[in-house]
A and B are shown apart, each in its own frame.
Chain A
Amino acid sequence: MAPTLVSAAVGALLAAALLGRAFDRRAVAVVVAAALLPRLDAAASLVVPGATNAFLHAVWAPLLVGGALYLDTVRRPAGASALRDRFGRRGVRVAWVALASFVVAGIGAALFAGEGAALLYPLEDARYVVRGRLVFSTQEGVVQTFLAPDGDGPGVLPLGRAGGTVADPVASWINPDGRPGFDPRADREFRFVDGGWQLVVVAAAAATLAVRFGGRDGDTTGDDGSGASDDGVSR
């Protein structure tokens, strides 16, 4: 799967970009944890065949949570929202950003840069990946191979496929061969980064957090002595 560190880094960048005034250490921790949550389905694969990149990488969990969040925070009249009552407006903001992080940094990373995500699991047994190219060439016009309407194998979405969830299980740190059953003596591999671009994304995320948490010292957070909404912008 796309390395854990990349999901965490993208989650951190989303936190910095979207949390606004709710940005603080705790909120960032929640959002980054949400980015890492989908890969817990690797643990489920020890029991359920082919659960890695499927169980929590399907669209159902975020749809459910998103629906519940919408009902609670948008549709209910002001003052009746359970989430807002308990955690305030800040909590609502963090919840939405965490959901976005779950989808974009968690599932998205597997879909675009990892071993794929079984978006419609368990309705169908196909793991999707987004791979291909989009080029404009003066000789051939627009060339795109991301969408494959008549791809082979099972699955209804017009995307590339990385095989079935059960037939070609995804190996992970928790479950090295991807099949049910725990083998304590198996050789485990934890990939931190895989390829230069991932190192760049991780470094950029680390630098961004350093700048944001640097507070007063950071020049880039917009608290440069202008007095405009001094506090709360960067922390």
Chain B
Amino acid sequence: MPSTVVHAGFALLLAAGLLGAYYDRRALAVLLVVIVLPEADSFLGLIMAGAHRTVGHNFVLPAVAALALYYDTRVRERSLVRERLSPRWISVAWVALFAHVFAHVALDWTHLDGVNVFWPLRDRFFQLDGGIVYSTADGFVQTFVDVRVDPETGSRTVDAGAGGTSETVHVNTPVQPRDPDVDVDEPVDRRFPIANSGWRLYLIGLGLFALGARRLQGDGVGDDA
């Protein structure tokens, strides 16, 4: 994974932009919990094969949560959530969901084997990797989704970075530092990455910068007119 610190950094930046009047320490604390929690599927990996990057890292559960929240707070006449939570915490929940999708799942999607995008509907890891370039020689070129047409049969294959299933993919974590199916006779090295490349350090720095700048601005919202 890009480390949890990277997720948290990017999430802080997003939250500073989205929380508006509800930007305060308590809201940020909730947000951090939401960012850290999905990593708990690392521990699930001890009992369920390939659980990390599967149970807490997919787009299906956030979509279900968003639909449920929308239905309950906007469509239904009597809202279960509204009876229990003030508007402030409903807004925070939306921001947390947003941060979970963009700062956590989407970032992990781009890394190593990616995430199990459609789990539990479909068990297949996808990895987002590529680029979009316009060049005067080749025009627009994008390499995120590879569409290939077989010249003989005319059949089309689309490769959006699909990899193995939760059976075959193991993403190393400090909890499970290596694939349990592989036997090696070495002392176990548990590595806790903080930032494994410049851009990850950049995302951490962006979050801290937003946090610091908001402090410097005072209450952050109301002092300017």
Contact = CB atoms under 8 A, between A and B. Distances in A.
**Which of B10, B13, B94, B203 has the most chain A CB within a 10 Å cutoff?**
B13
Contact of B136 (A20, A100, A187, A211): A187
A14 interface: yes
Given A104-B206, A129-B198, A137-B190, A18 B131 contact: no
A112 B199 contact: yes
A208 B18 CA distance: 7
A200 interface: yes
A112 B198 contact: yes
Contacts of B194: 134-136
Contact of A188 (B13, B135, B193, B221): B135
B61 interface: no
Contacts of B130: 195-196, 199
Interface string B74-93: 00000000000011101100
B17 A212 contact: yes
Contact of A196 (B88, B110, B203, B225): B110
B55 interface: no
Interface in A79-103: 89-90, 93, 100
A222 B13 contact: no
Interface string B179-202: 000000001111111111111011
A156 to B, nearest CB: 20
Interface stretch (B46-54, B117-125, B209-217): B209-217
Interface of B: 2, 10, 13-14, 16-22, 73, 86-88, 90-91, 94-95, 98, 102-103, 106-107, 109-111, 127-137, 144, 187-199, 201-203, 205-206, 209-210, 213-214, 217, 220-225
Nearest to B195: A134
Interface string A156-168: 0000000000000
Interface in A49-91: 89-90
Nearest to B105: A200
A83 to B, nearest CB: 13
Given A137-B192, A138-B188, A203-B106, A130 B201 contact: yes
A220 B193 contact: no
A48 interface: no
B173 to A, nearest CB: 13
Given A17-B16, A109-B202, A220-B91, A229 B21 contact: yes
A75 B148 CA distance: 63
> Nearest 8 A-B pairs (CB), nearest first?
A196-B110, A16-B17, A222-B20, A17-B16, A112-B202, A196-B128, A192-B132, A204-B102
21 contacts: A14-B210, A17-B16, A20-B217, A111-B198, A112-B205, A133-B195, A136-B192, A137-B189, A140-B189, A146-B198, A146-B201, A191-B132, A191-B133, A196-B109, A196-B130, A208-B17, A219-B73, A225-B87, A226-B87, A233-B20, A233-B221
Contacts of B16: 16-18
A113 B198 contact: yes
B94 A189 contact: no
Contact of B102 (A112, A139, A207): A207
Interface in A103-127: 104, 108-109, 111-113
Contacts of A226: 86-88
B128 A224 contact: no
Nearest to B15: A17
Interface string A213-228: 0000001111111101
B18 A16 contact: yes
Interface in A1-49: 10, 13-18, 20-22
